[in-house]
A and B are shown apart, each in its own frame.
Chain A
Amino acid sequence: MLTVDNLSVFYGDAQALDDVSLAVEAGTIVAIVGANGAGKTSLIRTIGGMIKPATGRIRFRDQEIAGWPSHLVCNLGIGQVAEGRQVFPSLTVAENLDMGAMLPRARANRARNRQRVEAMFPKLSERLGQAAGTLSGGEQQMLAIGRCLMGEPELIMFDEPSLGLAPSIVHDVLKAIRDLNASGMTCVLVEQNVAVSLKIANRAYVLENGRVTLSGTGAELLADERVRQAYLGL
């Protein structure tokens, strides 16, 4: 569904991604793991159209999208749940959700998508009139996911969805991702919680200093000695 070939990205002179290639098949969860500064967020932001790559190709379905602006990438069906629960704090929950439905591809189905999202996250539907900034961290993350779903994505990229959340909430968030995947959603998951993300991933890539150094199924990487040492502390 999504293939990235030989992608390189620079911030000025500093190279953030170096010849990165990966493939995401429809209906799977692909995990991208790596230390801070390894280039995970740069990768997501480049696919999402917020950073222009220096070289390389990004294909989504039949389209070559490298270098496209983000609003067009979004409208193709690549959704993003950005790092740090980026909700619009002074807007209400309902307004935040509707903001996700402004994409041309999803505008007509707003009412139906709202019902679906509210059914999926009942807590949000109880707080529709409340300012998003007053929600708890976990609720804000659910709102960010719900807002993304309002745009009818076919693939969602999650950037550190469990960052800064209490363990029980992390569980809820990951369960929401698995449920989405079970209903057919393709997911790209960037997670610092390596053990959990490898467990739920069909396929995983390890990024180090902007390069893919290892890839395989989630189970393979979980069993890999280097991964166990570097990321799982075993």
Chain B
Amino acid sequence: MTALWNEIPRHGKWLTALLLLVFIAAPLVVDRYLLSVLVLVLYFAYLGQAWNLLMGFAGQLSLGHALYLGLGAYTATTLWLLFGIGPWIGVFVAIAVAAAAGLIVGWLGWRFGVEGVYFALLTIAFAEFTRIGFDHLGLTGASGGLFLPVSPTAHDWWNLNGGVHLFYYVALILAIAATLLAAWLRQSPLGYRWLAVREDPEAAQAVGINVFRVRMIAMLISAGMTAVGGVFYGFYYRNLFPSQIFDISRSIELILGPIIGGLGTIFGPIVGAIILTPVGESLTTFMQSSGLNVPGAKSIFYGIILMIIISLRPSGVWPWLAKHLRLDRPKS
């Protein structure tokens, strides 16, 4: 870890410290609304890191990460509601459930040679099955939804119940931890195996890499991390509907950040979330204040932004930005 830090050029260290300071101090300055937007920025940065491990590092496209998000959210909230098990303990069960689901998807796909687009379709199918299943699961309120009690004045960090400040700092810690984990994994032997498998699975096999196992580990970590995001979602919004949490738009919105920021980079998911979320939120605000009611406008808007950025910066914003800030690693 210290070696990683030493690799960053001096002004990069200052910029990183400054960014951290801005995020830590933001709640002192900004109002509640802006802070709630920043919560989303951090939340999407976190989920982007989780998804980027699988796609950006190991090269496997999942369009069904809503599955792990939803399983995580439902597991922890149900444990809390029915058994009084707090989210800080429930999160481990949530991770285990989502990771197990990830292993099933990965096993079915990679064991039987389902690759590329077909694998992506498989991931969508699993999220959809699960959505339909939860629509009929009485334990969690079926399609009518699951609700956690709301108490605006609570300051109960142990039960993840409180104001936006609490969730802001939880999201900040999650985003920082995910980024550190991604950076550490990237330079670990496992990270290099992921890159080898991403670049050329056959060549990876020829150098003795167990392609199946390496992909399964990526899936395990990515699904587990996404489940933590789901726990956060469940306790932050305090209501869950299968038609929302398992919806394909959840899967899509969490992959836009890393794609726009830069696939397979450490800071890409953060940069993507910083660009995309405020833009999306201001569109929503604008639509509301101007009285326009166009369902799906946000999706169209995201689509347009995605097209523009992909055509201008095909490998994402971060590699370009890093070059201009002279933060890219010098190729010796």
A interface list, Cβ under 8 A from B: 48, 50, 69-71, 74-75, 80-82, 86-92, 95, 98-100, 102-103, 128-131, 147-148, 151
Assess the A102–B202 pair: CB atoms within 8 A: no
Assess the A148–B331 pair: CB atoms within 8 A: no
Q: Say how far A52's CB is from chain B's closest CB, in angstroms.
A: 12
Report the Cα distance A86→B210, complex, angstroms.
17
Assess the A102–B208 pair: CB atoms within 8 A: yes
Within the complex, which residue of A71, A95, A99 is in contact with B210, where a contact is CB–CB below 8 Å? A71
Assess the A75–B208 pair: CB atoms within 8 A: yes
Assess the B206–A86 pair: CB atoms within 8 A: yes
- In this assembly, does B291 line the interface, its C-beta being within 8 Å of a C-beta of chain A? no
Would you mind naming 18 contact pairs between A and B with Cβ atoms under 8 Å apart?
A48-B205, A74-B208, A80-B206, A81-B206, A82-B206, A86-B203, A86-B206, A89-B199, A90-B195, A90-B199, A92-B331, A99-B193, A99-B204, A102-B209, A128-B332, A129-B332, A130-B331, A151-B207
Within the complex, which residue of A75, A87, A131 is in contact with B203, where a contact is CB–CB below 8 Å? A87
- In this assembly, does B200 line the interface, its C-beta being within 8 Å of a C-beta of chain A? yes
Q: Which residues of B contact A89 (CB under 8 A)?
A: 199-200
Q: Say how far B158's CB is from chain A's closest CB, in angstroms.
A: 43
CB-based closest 9 A-B pairs = A74-B208, A86-B203, A129-B332, A88-B199, A71-B210, A80-B206, A103-B208, A82-B206, A70-B205
Assess the A95–B205 pair: CB atoms within 8 A: no
Q: Which residues of A contact B206 (CB under 8 A)?
A: 48, 50, 70, 74, 80-82, 86, 148
Q: Which residues of A contact B210 (CB under 8 A)?
A: 69, 71
Assess the A99–B202 pair: CB atoms within 8 A: no
**Interface residues of B: mostly helix, strand, loop or mixed?**
helix
Report the Cα distance A100→B189, complex, angstroms.
12
Q: Which residues of B contact A50 (CB under 8 A)?
A: 202, 205-206
Q: Which residues of A contact B189 (CB under 8 A)?
A: 102
Q: Number of B residues contacting the other chain (C-beta, 8 Å)? A: 18
- In this assembly, does B196 line the interface, its C-beta being within 8 Å of a C-beta of chain A? yes
Within the complex, which residue of B192, B202, B207, B331 is in contact with A74, where a contact is CB–CB below 8 Å? B207
Assess the A151–B199 pair: CB atoms within 8 A: no
Q: Which residues of A contact B202 (CB under 8 A)?
A: 50, 82, 86
Q: Say how far A88's CB is from chain B's closest CB, in angstroms.
A: 4
Report the Cα distance A81→B202, complex, angstroms.
11
Q: Which residues of B contact A74 (CB under 8 A)?
A: 206-208
Assess the B199–A91 pair: CB atoms within 8 A: yes
Assess the B208–A151 pair: CB atoms within 8 A: yes
Nearest chain B residue, comparing its CB with the CB of A157: B206
Report the Cα distance A48→B202, complex, angstroms.
11
Within the complex, which residue of B192, B200, B203 is in contact with A95, where a contact is CB–CB below 8 Å? B192
Nearest chain A residue, comparing its CB with the CB of B264: A90
Interface residues of B in 191-223 (CB under 8 A from A): 192-193, 195-196, 199-200, 202-210
Q: Which residues of A contact B332 (CB under 8 A)?
A: 128-129
Q: Say how far B116's CB is from chain A's closest CB, in angstroms.
A: 18
Report the Cα distance A89→B200, complex, angstroms.
9
Assess the A147–B207 pair: CB atoms within 8 A: yes
Q: Which residues of B contact A91 (CB under 8 A)?
A: 192, 195-196, 199
Nearest chain B residue, comparing its CB with the CB of A153: B208
Q: Which residues of A contact B207 (CB under 8 A)?
A: 74, 99-100, 102-103, 147-148, 151
Q: Say how far A45's CB is from chain B's closest CB, in angstroms.
A: 9
Q: Which residues of B contact A48 (CB under 8 A)?
A: 205-206
Q: Apart from A91-B192, A91-B195, A151-B207, what are 20 other A-B pairs with CB-CB below 8 Å?
A: A48-B206, A50-B202, A50-B205, A71-B210, A74-B208, A86-B203, A86-B206, A87-B203, A88-B196, A88-B203, A89-B199, A89-B200, A90-B195, A91-B196, A99-B192, A100-B207, A102-B189, A102-B192, A131-B331, A148-B206
